[in-house]
Every structure is written in structure tokens, then in C-alpha cells.
Structure 1
Amino acid sequence: MKLSNYGEFPADIPVIAEDEIFLYPFMISPLFLSDEKNIEAATKAIDENTLVIVCPTKAEHEGEREYESLYDAGVVGSIMRKVSLPDGRVKVLFQGLARAKSLYKVSDDPLIAHVDILEPTEVNSLKIDAILEVVREKVRALSAVSNYFPPDLLRTIEENHDHNRIIDLICSTIKLKKEQAYKLFVETDTEKRFLDLIDILIDEIEANKLQKEIRSKVHTHIEKVNKEYFLKEQLKQIQKELGTDTAREEEIEEYYKKLEAKKDKMGEDAYKEIKKQLERFARMHPDSSDASMTQTYLDWVLDIPFGSFAKKALKIENVETQLDKDHFSLEKPKERIVEYFAVKELLELRGIALKKGAGAILCFSGPPGVGKTSLANSIATALKRPLIRIALGGLEDVNELRGHRRTYVGAMPGRITQGLIDAKKMNPVIVLDEIDKVSRSQRGDPTAALLEILDPEQNSEFRDYYLNFDLDLSNVIFIATANDVGRIPAPLRDRMEFITLSSYTPQEKFEIAKRYLLPQELKKHGLKKSELTISKPALRELIHSYTREAGVRNLRRRIAEMCRKAARELLKNSEIEKVSVSVKNLKEFFDKSVFEIQKTDKVPVVGVVNGLAWTAVGGDVLKIESIRIKGKGNLQLTGSLGDVMKESARIAMSVVKTLIDKRKLRISEDNIPMTYSEKTEKIKVDPSEVYKRYDLHVHVPDGATPKDGPSAGIAMVSVIASILSSRKIRSEIAMTGEVSLSGEVLPIGGLKEKLIAAHKAEMSKVLIPFKNYERDLDDIPKEVQESLEIVPVKRVEEVLKQVLI
């Protein structure tokens, strides 16, 4: 195929951009096109049977397909074949015909340029032949120190007399940078091309000579290292025979001393296993992989503090004092913790060994920020024992707890064993944080390992896979923490005793902030007590309007934010000696308030009721709304409700229907939509027709938040009864309780958080199930009980009598 078979040049032809290399006229090359511009250019050339020019992209613009990102020179040639590949790319077989230069851009879609052929200038044949001979000599020299030129290519260069063809052949073989290749490519003066090429070949020869010399030195060095290694090994054997190799012997002797020192304190199986591995290590070649693994094992096991215990005598007065010092309120949790340690102290005083299975594992449960982990810290401080915290959140590999078997690469003891090593005592306080967030996966179920760790019947013989012997964990005080007890598997839940930490009341938060948070944050931020003051009303407003939580974590963050701004103000203005925060300037310290719970407006409304809900961050007042639309008695539920709440709404609908049928819920005739004939003929309509002639829509606002739980029954009954009877609901009353089909009010959980939420919303009356009133009222803070009229209810009739006007 010749260039003369196509039209004359200069001509407008499509442009294909090439990222990798410069192509040359003699080449037949496959090109893989993946972007649209290149594919369109190739398609146009095939469809119109025209040539294309393949231009390389500039080094700094690789991947771009704009005209300005390409070199203005390339190879003009034809596309011999085009194949579409399964991955969306297009493969074309391109044959280069001539060097060409792109003069200017003609079109962008597809990319077309005005192109002219690069014609070489005439040369002095004698001079050029002499230069050519020099080039061939340099090529031979380069081939002697590199593998660039195979024999057939050398033969072609020796026998060919086309000067520019020879230059292109050599350029395509040696690895040129794009800028070098471009300068040689666009040069039309053959003599200058040859001279530039000679300079490049000389540089290549020097570089390859240097590489060859370095390779030779490296090879020699490796041989020397191998020789030295062999001689050292011989020397080691000779020294061993002579008894002069003492370093390794001393190391092994040190291991034996450590083992014998701990022999009486460890179990027999532990001693046998460690001694067996130590004897194996002594027989091993020191440079083998097994020796390294065994030495790592010995380092781990001989660091385990066998027989080492914290000697501090247990005194419940110390525990009680420390808990009171570190925590405000939390009376019942603190009382249970003191009882737990009182049993231990009594057994110690009377010399009675704690029987297997007699100990209890404490688990602090409650919302984030209420002080679960800090209670464990206080216990460790009071007992003068080291505290080890193991975060279980997201743990899904059982080997993290049990240890990896030593056959695996990178095997390590489990976290429990590592905790004992870090503590340097066999009786530390180990906090298993977020035990409700352990995950099960294909790598095992970590909760199964936790059963053995936490079961007092079994943990005296806990086996770590890495150690391959039993550890006694019966002296360890395990304390677990959890946000949601329901997510802990039942067998594991059965091993633990739960101490529930509920939400703090606003007054409790105020005292905690005043006594603990503010002094701690002032100290952390380098401020004196006199340099930052906050008034009591401002602190109460900060708690009420700028935090939304059950605990005090966000409150601590807000106080820290206030301290930072105060520190900045003191440094910025040296004349200021004190920063005072009051209700008036509170907004200057904080961006915006978080309206935690909307206060009641005390205006009765039809079809809106105040329910009480438990959430992960404490209690909340949940408004439930309802409207009626003429229809056939259908019930529509919205507000991202879970299955339990949907069932509560359907049960509530049935209960209200029953009340209407039994005439226990009065329905005015004005509420019943009547047909024209019924109106004209003055037909008396049965009250039960009201729920047959309306469709009800019940909605719980804040639809983006999922809601579920068995406590919305009586609220659903109230709102449906209100909308069907057109009677208003007292807006200062809130309620919680589930309902049965027979109309009985059933007990619920989370009463403390719910009543605190009602207290914050300034409700005057709360309806709760009678069983909760009998059972849970002692847990409610006095200030909440004093601010609310708490009314126990047994049946829905009592509820409707209280709330409907």
C-alpha cells in the first residue's frame, strides 16, 4: 500500500491520539482505542476510505484528547482492520506510510487536522554515507552492551540504504523520551537527524556500560555474601564444637531461667507446653523460619504475669468513696456495684474461696454518654488494679479473642491474653466495651468465645489457641458495657447481670456540669476558675436548648467549645481578665440551639396526641396526628413506622370500633357523613357507620426517622377516637402504654426516660400503665414526680375519659 494511492497532500484527515509511543512509517501496529474521539476518527477514516494521522500526546497531557495536548507531528497511514472488543474498546490495525506534520485544527468532533507530509531535504551522498557508517558503528557498540538490537535488525541496518528509514528503525528500537523522539521525528534535514542520533547513541552506550558494570558488581557482591554466609556457618559449627558460641546459648539459658522462676505459679500443662517449645527452639537452626516463630512464642508466653496479683486489700469504703467522688446521681447502679464488692470482701475476710459459678459479670447498659465506661474506671481506681479496655465494636473474627493458631503467618495471642501481659497482673479490671456490637461472620462467632470468657463456670480454664494451654481468668473482674441489651445473644445475656444507667434529668445534668465537667474542661484548656464564669440560668439554657442527649457527652463538648472561645478572647484582648457567660451573650458562644423537646402549647386539638417514646439518646415526646377523609373505612399509616407500631395502630382501630359499637364512645350524628336520600328522608344513621364512611390517615411526624416499639397503643387509640368523634384531646397530657384487643392497657419499658421527656416538655399529666405505676415509680427522680401528675390506667376507657374533652 502506497501513499500515492490516496489523495494529494496537504489534506484534511482524522487524528488519532496515542498515549504510549511514537509510531514510525514502516510500522504495522495494533492500536487499542477506548475513548470516543479516537473511535470516531477511526470510523470516519474507514467509512470514507481516507488516511489518518496518529499523533502522540505530550507527556504532561497523557489521556487528554484536545488538539493542543498533542504533538504537531505524527505518522500518516491507513487502517487495515477494525475489530470491536467485548469490553467496549476498539482494536485497529494501523500501517504507517509517511511522517507528517499537523498544520492546524479543522474540526473537533471528530478531531480533524490539516496535514502535510514531511519531505526530507536533499543531502550530500558522500558525506551522509560517511556519517551513516559512524551510526552503524555506534549501533554495533550499543548492541554489544545491551539487548536492544536482535541479529536480523542489525542486518537490516547494515544492508539498508534508505537513510531516514534507518533513523526511524533505530529510534523505534532504543527507549527515547517523547521530547527527544519528537525532535528527531520532525527534523527534515537528514544530516542533522543523523548527527543528533549519534549523540543519543553515545549517551545510550555510556548508560548501558554503567548499568552493565553495576550489575557485574552486584553479582560479585552477592557471590561474596554467599561465600561469607557459608564461611560463617562453618565457623558457627566449629565454635559450637569448641563450645565458644555463647550468644545463643546465653539466650536459651535466659529463657530457661524465666521458665523455672514461674514454674510454681503456672499450671502443669502450661509448664510442659512452654518447656517443649523451648527444647525445640534449642535444637533448631537459628536462621530457620520455625526458629523465629518459636522465639516469638516464647517471648509472648514468658511475659504472661503468672502468679502476679494486685495486692491491694479490698475495701468497699474505698469503692463507695471513689464512685461518689467521680459520679453524681446514679444511686442504684452505685449501690449494686458496692453490693457486688461487699460479697467479695466478706468472702476474703472469712477466708472462703469464691466457688466456681458464684461470681457475677456486671454489664452496664444505657444510652451513650451516661457514664458506663467511667464507672469501670472508678472501680479500677478504687481497687488499685490496672484497667484494660477491649473495644468489641465491629469485632467479627473469633481469633481476635481466642488467639490465632501458630501455624498461621503473623499469629498472635488473643486480646484477653495481650491484656493480661499489658496489665502485668493476673487480676486486672477488663472492660469489654460495646458488647452488643459484636458481629458474626464466616470467620466465626466471637460471642461463642465470650461465653467461655465471661462464664464463671468455665473461665478458670480459658484456652488461648496461640498459647495452647489454659489460663485462669477467674481473678479478673470483667465489666461489659452495652447500649442496647436486646442485641446481645440470649446465651451471653444469661451470663451477665445488667445494671441499667438511665437518662439524666436536666437538674442532674446541671449538677454534673457544675461539679465535674466545667472544672475538668477549665483545667484541660489552661484556664483558671476566675477567668471563665457561667451563670446558673445560662448553664440551664445551655443544657436545655443546645444539647440533645441522654448523657452528658455533648454537654462536655459544648463546655469545651465555650472554653476554647474564652481562651481565644483572653489572648486576643490582653485587657480582659475574665470572660462571663450569661443568657444574653450565650448565642455569641454557640452557633445555633438544638430544640431538644418542643414544649406543649396547652391548646386542645382534634386528632393530635402526645405519645412518649424511648430512643437511643433518651426519651422523647412523639406527636401522633390523624385526619379523616370520606371513604370506606380504610386505615393509612405513614411516618416510617416499624411492624410493631403498625400492628399497634390496627389494634387501636379495632378497639375504637368496639367502643363505638358498644356505645362506650359517643359519636354525634353531625360527625357521620350522610347521603342525599338519608338527609331528605331524615333516616337515622347508626353511630357505627362513622368508621365505615371515613378513611383514616394516621401519621407520626419526622418521617425520615424510623420508629418502632410496643408502647404507642393508647396514644393510637386516643388519636383515632378523637378524629372519629371530633372531640379535642388535652394537649398538656402525654401518655405511654400498649393496648390489647380487649382494651386492657399493657406495661411498657423505658418509663424513666419517657417521664423525663414529659417533664422537659412541661406536660402537666402523664398516663402510664397501672403495672408500671406499681413496679417502676420508685426509679423516677423526685423532681420529675413532683412536676407531673402521674395517672395509672388499666383500660382504654379510663384513657379516653382523661384525654377527650
Structure 2
Amino acid sequence: MSQTYSVPVLFVPDLVVLPGMVVPIPLDDAAQATVDAARASESGKLLIAPRLDDRYPTYGVIASIVQIGRMPGGQSAAVVKGETRAHIGSGAPGNGAALWVEITEVDEPEITDEVKTLAADYKKLVLAMLQRREAWQIIDAVNKMTDPSDLADTAGYSSWLADAQKRQLLETPDIAKRLTLLIDWTGEHLAETEVSDKIADDVRSGMEKQQKEFLLRQQLNAIRKELGEDEPDGADDYRARVEAADLPDRVREAALREVGKLERASDQSPETGWIRTWLDTVLDLPWNVTTTDSTDIKGAREILDADHHGLDDVKDRIVEYLAVRARRAERGLQVVGGRGSGAVMVLAGPPGVGKTSLGESVARALGRKFVRVALGGVRDEAEIRGHRRTYVGALPGRIVRAIGEAGSMNPVVLLDEIDKVGSDYRGDPAAALLEVLDPAQNHTFRDHYLDLDLDLSDVLFLATANVVENIPSALLDRMELVTIDGYTEDDKVAIARDFLLPRQDERAALTPDEVTVSEDALREIAANYTREPGVRQFERLLAKLLRKAATNLESGTAQAPVAIGVDDLKEYLGRPRFTPESAERTAVPGVATGLAVTGMGGDVLFIEATGTDGEPGLKLTGQLGDVMKESAQIALSYVCAHADQFGVDLAALQKAIHVHVPAGAVPKDGPSAGVTMVTALVSMATGRKVRADVGMTGEVTLNGRVLPIGGVKQKLLAAQRNGLKTVFIPQRNEPDLDDVPAEVLDALDVRPMVDVADIIAQALEPATGVATAAA
């Protein structure tokens, strides 16, 4: 009959006590109070229950106090023995500071044949587990146990059971269910233990086998050494592979030396892995494989013209390269790439003008393989020259990997974004490229990983860059500079018509019969929707236009054929993003329009000047570099020195002069803003506005001489794009006009100038009435 009574309760964390277990419990204040209350009670018992975070426990174990003493560390402890399961009820009053609860003892169910069978099965599993652990004393104790409930509760001592599993056993009064759970859990753990032991045995036997093989191999090597034999003994016969490969003599000798080291080394040595990887790399390189260059000069030019509009300088250079190779071949002269023609070109220009894609066209025109090597952001010299093969994870450099990827010794290798190569503590990749790109040295290029001379003289190297000034001078000296400054409006329209529209039609699954874009619409996009030297943004807008047209056709809101004209662009692309702003910006005195070159091509640069009452001096804003700051100082000094010549009242210049170059978030520097600053200062001081259709570029000296600058073609293209009509350039830059497209020169009145005073006389609007200095 179940008994119900009150006992003090002790909640213990990280410990589950089952009936029959004898465990020590450290005594803190709460535990001491519970033990004292139990000893003072009539029964002398207490309830031990697990402390749960998520709920109140429903079962515990009625325990008796066996002994009070101290732990090895000196802490007070009580040794208790679990006796019977009990169901926890509500709280109850009691003596002392302990918590009292009302409990009901759980009666043990009747032992059935099923329970006896389950107990026998569980005992076998427990004995098997204990035998694996060689716990012989515990085995004897388990063998003597006959009560199934006591046998099941011994699981409280099992280290392979988690606390959650032990709590489940505590809360399962039914013996059959407890034994079933234990059989499942113990069987799973025994299977895992057997697998783990098998793996450990396999590892141990494998290590013993390796040690045995090492000793035998050392004995075999000693025997061969005595017999004077040096034959391979491995499954991978690298010697046969090297002898069968088509290798140059010097490479074969080096490879055979490494094969000898491999044969003498043991399999356990880390050097064997390095040697095998090195041999695989050497054997995979196309040492004597080359492709035959096309000698059809006319056909090559047709391929280049079909792939790219304009870029005549680059196309002419490639055709010249082919012509020289063809003539050398006809005369039986040695035909080599670098030493024969010096063809290491760098294509410099703003983004979107077709530099990278030109490399593929060159390879197709020559009949060569094409490989692109991206150098943007590369800072490790080992990326070019390779790693020493003693390093973990060593690899050849990008040049060697490009040769292997191409499968021939004479591919076209495009070194993309060579101006964005960096340097840090790992070395300078640009310095490593010096040998690669020098026609006089690259026939003996040595990669650190291969440690062999690699002949790169027959490789056609092309490089691309946005900003030539960012290329180290020593590296630029080894390359032939071909500048691609950008496209005119007519060029963009022709490129869109012949190249971009067909490509975007294909991507949008359209045909020319379904959607047409008029020439005027293309010209409007080039003029007022994009302001770029290339055509990348132009192509994005065409893609957007065709996507919307495809959507209209698919949804039924439009019927084929769809003709898109100038009036339809606002519906498809929105309002124009760019409108001429020179007239608005120069509508007040003190603002002049200059021309500049950035990494994105040419652009206009408005320079503003004003004077205010205050301490005389010059204030500069707009994130100007040192060169532009000096140009502003020179400009002010020049205007002050020639005030009478320009009709300037010196009082207008003896103020707080402020020169600002808008777009202050963009750093600006360069030696071509001097004349623009002089013009802005004179306009501010005289009150005469600068003509809205005038742009200018050039550096100025203290005596007013206009000095030459760079990027004339890019600046004139920018002037045309921004609607300027007259451009002043230094007279010494007049020969550069030969590179400017004829349609640009027809659209602009380009005036070479020697003296900045002449620029001021022509750039400022005539004075109306009495000229007044700007306040």
C-alpha cells in the first residue's frame, strides 16, 4: 500500500540519484538545512530530486543519510543512499529552514516473465560492456543481482548515459519500460564502442604496418646499394613517364634528378609529396607544344574589325606583328615572339572601351590560345614568381599556370588591370613582372616553384590599365603603350548599332524584326543619357530598353514590330540623366570651365572664385592636391602682377580670395588647371562672365606662359560630350590634335595658345557699361 507523508526535499543539479545508489552530496547552506531537518525528523529520511530548468520535477528518491563528513577538499558532505521512488506532491509545512513536500511512495509492480526476460537481456549487455572495460569486480556484483528493478537502477552509475536519460529512468516506475529503454540505449552505445575500437585497432595496425614497411624498404635500399642497382620500386613509375615525355634536355635532366630523390626517399617522408607534385606540374606543362600562327594578314584585320569598332592603332600594331613574323618565317629566320618583334603592349584607357575583350580578338586573329590573368589587387610577389616548394600549399606563379591552362608555349596572355597591382610586406608583384615583360630577359624566366628556366619569348603579352601614371616607370618602360582614349558620339552610335544591339537582342530573346531602335534614339542615349568614354553604361541602357520592350510584347501591351524613337525613350529609360550645365554654371562672374582627365576618362571641371571682406589671403577647397594648390597660388600672383593689363582693381584682389573646385568628395590634382584658375580670378575681379561655350586646359607660369599638358584627346572628347564649342589648349600640344577624331575637331573650335592673356581676352564676355569688381 502506497504511503503518503512529508519529508524535506533537496534539489541537486548535475546529478540523478536512482534507488540503490550511494552518493556523496556536497553541503551548501540549503543542503545543510535539508539534512538537519531530515535528521531531526521522525523518519530520518529526505527526498532527493533533480533540479530542472524547464519544469518542476515529478519524481524523486527517498534517501537515508549514511554518514556526515568532509570531502577530500575539506567541504562538508553527506553520504546518502537512495531507497525508493516517490511521486512529489504539493508543498507541506515542516520544521527548520528546509523545504518540505508531500510525497507518495511508488510501489514496485509485480515481476512477470516478460520482465525477467528483459532483465536477462539487459544483464548480458551490461556484462558485455563491463568486460570491454575489464571491470571484473563490478561484473561479479552484477552477476549476483536477481531483482530486475535493482538491476535496472544500477544504470544510475553508467557513464555512457546522459543526465536526461537517467531522469527518464527515474520518472519511469514501470520496470518493463525501464528495461526496454536501457536495452536500446546500451545496445546503441555498445555498437558505437565496437566501431570506435575497430577504428582504433585499424589505425594501430596501420601504423605497425607502416613501420614494418619502412624497415623493409630501408633494408631493400641497403641491399640495392650494395648490388649497385637503382631501379624504381613504387607503383607510380615517374622515371618511365619522364623518359616518355617530350621535354627539353635541361628539363629532363632536372626531372630525372628529382625522380632519383623520390626513389631513394621513404613514403613517410614529406619530401615525397613535394617531389610528386613538382613532377606532375612539370609533366603537365606544354614544353614543346606551340600553335601555328595565322599568316593571313587581311583575314586577321577582318577579324579585328568585325569584333571591334575603331581602335585602329591597336589593330595596326597587331597586323604589323603578323607581317613581321610572316616575313621572318619566309626567310627561314628564327621566329620568336618577344625578341623578334617586341610585342608587349599595354592598352591604356578608361573603363568600357573594350581593352579586355580586345585580347580575345587578338588571339582569334593570330590563331592562338587565349588566357586572361587578373592582376587587380594582387599584392604577393609569389603570385607572379610562385612559391618555394618547401612551403605548405606551394603553387607555381600565375604566369606558369596560364601557360599550363593554355596548353601551348605561345598563347596570348592578357594581364588585366596591371595598374592596380599593389605591394606590401610580401613583396612587389610589379617588380616580379619586370622579367616577365622584358623581351630581352623573358626567354629565361625562372619561376620559384619550378626552379627551371621557362622561355616566354614566344608568348604575346597584352596588358590593360586605366591610369598609366599608376604603372611603375620601370615596368612601363618594358611595354609599348597604346592609348585608347574613348569613343566619340558617332563611334558610340556605330558600336551600338553593329555590336551592342545584336548582342542584347539575343539576350532578351528578341529579333530585329520585333524591336527596332532608331539612329536618332541611339544618338540621344549617347548624348544625354550617358557621359562616359566607353560604352558599358550605354549597353546597360540598351539592355534595359529591350527588357521593357520584351515585357510589353509578352504581356500583350504592345504588338510587334515595336519601333523605338527619340520620343519613346522617356517611357523606356526615364528622363535624360545629363543636360548641358556650362551655361548655368558660368552665368555669374568668377566661374570658368576647365578640362581634366580621370581614371574614367576626360571630364569638365568648373573652377569657382570669389572675394569677401576680411584678412587678405587665398583659401582653397575641393580636396585639391599639392600641384593644384600651387597652380592657384601662381594664378593669383600672376593676376595681381598684371592687374593693370586686365583692368582689375587691386582692391578686388586684396580680399579674402576663395577658390573652390566643386565635387569636394573627389580628390583632384594635376598640372592642367592653371589657365582655368587665372581666368576664374580675372572674371571674379572684373565682374565679366566667362563664355558658357568655352573650355580650357593648360598649366601657367608666373609670367603667363601656357605650358603643355597630357590627355588632349580625352579632354576634347569630354568637351564635345558636354556641349562646348571653343577649347583653348597649349600651343605645344598642337601636334596631339593628329590623334583626335575628325568629327571632334569639326565640332570644336580648338585654339592653341601661348599666353594666358590671349585666353582671357577671348574667353571673357565683353564688359557691359562700367566693369565692377565682384564683391
**TM-score, normalised on structure 1?**
0.73
255, 278, 286: which one aligns with 2:241: 255
Correspondence for 1:303? 284
429, 440, 455: which one aligns with 1:472: 455
The secondary structure found in structure 2 opposite 1:605 is: coil
The 1-side partners of 2:557 and 2:157 are apart by 73
Alpha-carbon spacing, 1:172–1:279, altered in 2? closer, same or farther (3 Å): closer
Correspondence for 2:359? 376
Q: CA offset at residue 602 of structure 1?
A: 9.2
391, 397, 400: which one aligns with 1:414: 397
Q: CA offset at residue 273 of structure 1?
A: 0.3
Correspondence for 1:580? 563
Correspondence for 1:435? 418
Matches within 5 A, 1:156-171: 170=156
Alpha-carbon spacing, 1:56–1:531, altered in 2? closer, same or farther (3 Å): farther
Q: CA offset at residue 426 of structure 1?
A: 1.6
Q: CA offset at residue 757 of structure 1?
A: 1.7
Give the conservation status (yes or no) of the 8 Å contact 1:139–1:201.
no
Correspondence for 2:652? 690
The 1-side partners of 2:339 and 2:677 are apart by 50
Correspondence for 2:539? 556
Tell whether 2:385 aligns with 1:425: no
Matches within 5 A, 1:358-507: 359-507=342-490
Alpha-carbon spacing, 1:350–1:223, altered in 2? closer, same or farther (3 Å): closer
Give the conservation status (yes or no) of the 8 Å contact 1:548–1:617.
no
Correspondence for 1:790? 750
Letter in 1 for 2:448: Y
Deviations 1:571-629 (A, max 9, x none): 44398333332223223333564327645359742122211121222222222223322
Q: CA offset at residue 71 of structure 1?
A: 4.8
For structure 2, list consecutive stretches of 5 or more residues without a partner in the other structure. 1-7, 18-22, 29-49, 59-74, 79-87, 91-96, 142-152, 766-775
The 1-side partners of 2:696 and 2:77 are apart by 85
Correspondence for 1:765? 726
For structure 1, list consecutive stretches of 5 or more residues without a partner in the other structure. 1-8, 11-17, 31-53, 58-69, 75-92, 104-114, 156-166, 668-686
Alpha-carbon spacing, 1:222–1:604, altered in 2? closer, same or farther (3 Å): closer
307, 323, 327: which one aligns with 1:346: 327
Matches within 5 A, 1:166-315: 170=156, 176=162, 204-219=185-200, 251-252=237-238, 254-259=240-245, 262-263=246-247, 266=248, 268-284=249-265, 289-315=270-296
Give the conservation status (yes or no) of the 8 Å contact 1:764–1:787.
yes
Letter in 1 for 2:459: V
The 1-side partners of 2:568 and 2:24 are apart by 82
678, 681, 685: which one aligns with 1:720: 681
Correspondence for 1:665? 646
Deviations 1:37-73 (A, max 9, x none): xxxxxxxxxxxxxxxxx9876xxxxxxxxxxxx6567
Comparing 303-312 with 481-490, greater Cα deviation is found at: 303-312
Q: Cα RMSD between the aligned structures?
A: 4.9
Letter in 1 for 2:442: N
298, 302, 307: which one aligns with 1:326: 307
Give the conservation status (yes or no) of the 8 Å contact 1:767–1:790.
yes
Give the conservation status (yes or no) of the 8 Å contact 2:593–2:695.
yes
704, 711, 717: which one aligns with 1:743: 704
Q: CA offset at residue 688 of structure 1?
A: 2.4
The 2-side partners of 1:573 and 1:116 are apart by 83
The secondary structure found in structure 1 opposite 2:642 is: helix
Tell whether 2:716 aligns with 1:734: no
Comparing 204-213 with 775-784, greater Cα deviation is found at: 204-213
Deviations 1:769-798 (A, max 9, x none): 1211x2211122222211222222222211
625, 640, 664: which one aligns with 2:608: 625
Alpha-carbon spacing, 1:470–1:223, altered in 2? closer, same or farther (3 Å): closer
Q: CA offset at residue 715 of structure 1?
A: 1.3
Deviations 1:369-424 (A, max 9, x none): 11212222222111111112111111222222222222223333222222222222
The 2-side partners of 1:370 and 1:793 are apart by 31
The secondary structure found in structure 2 opposite 1:696 is: strand
Deviations 1:6-36 (A, max 9, x none): xxx99xxxxxxx9xx6899987799xxxxxx
Matches within 5 A, 1:595-606: 595=578, 598=581, 600-601=583-584, 604-606=587-589
**Share of identical aligned residues, percent?**
38
Alpha-carbon spacing, 1:566–1:198, altered in 2? closer, same or farther (3 Å): same
Correspondence for 1:164? none
Correspondence for 2:768? none
Letter in 2 for 1:659: H
Give the conservation status (yes or no) of the 8 Å contact 2:412–2:461.
yes
The 2-side partners of 1:28 and 1:795 are apart by 100
Give the conservation status (yes or no) of the 8 Å contact 1:145–1:212.
no
Q: CA offset at residue 544 of structure 1?
A: 2.5
The secondary structure found in structure 2 opposite 1:274 is: helix
Deviations 1:429-469 (A, max 9, x none): 11111111112122222222211111111111111222222
Give the conservation status (yes or no) of the 8 Å contact 1:601–1:732.
no
The 2-side partners of 1:29 and 1:339 are apart by 97
Comparing 313-322 with 299-308, greater Cα deviation is found at: 313-322
Tell whether 2:741 aligns with 1:781: yes
Q: CA offset at residue 248 of structure 1?
A: 5.4
The 2-side partners of 1:192 and 1:803 are apart by 105
The secondary structure found in structure 1 opposite 2:548 is: helix
The 2-side partners of 1:143 and 1:377 are apart by 70
498, 509, 517: which one aligns with 1:515: 498
Deviations 1:110-158 (A, max 9, x none): xxxxx99572515389999xx9xx9xx99997994799x9x99xx9xxx
Correspondence for 1:703? 664
Number of matched residues?
682
The 2-side partners of 1:146 and 1:467 are apart by 54
Give the conservation status (yes or no) of the 8 Å contact 2:515–2:562.
yes
**TM-score, normalised on structure 2?**
0.75
Give the conservation status (yes or no) of the 8 Å contact 1:599–1:760.
no
Tell whether 2:103 aligns with 1:121: yes
The 1-side partners of 2:485 and 2:407 are apart by 35
The secondary structure found in structure 1 opposite 2:105 is: coil
Give the conservation status (yes or no) of the 8 Å contact 1:142–1:201.
no
The 2-side partners of 1:529 and 1:383 are apart by 32
Alpha-carbon spacing, 1:526–1:125, altered in 2? closer, same or farther (3 Å): closer
The 2-side partners of 1:251 and 1:200 are apart by 58
The secondary structure found in structure 2 opposite 1:302 is: helix
The 2-side partners of 1:217 and 1:451 are apart by 58
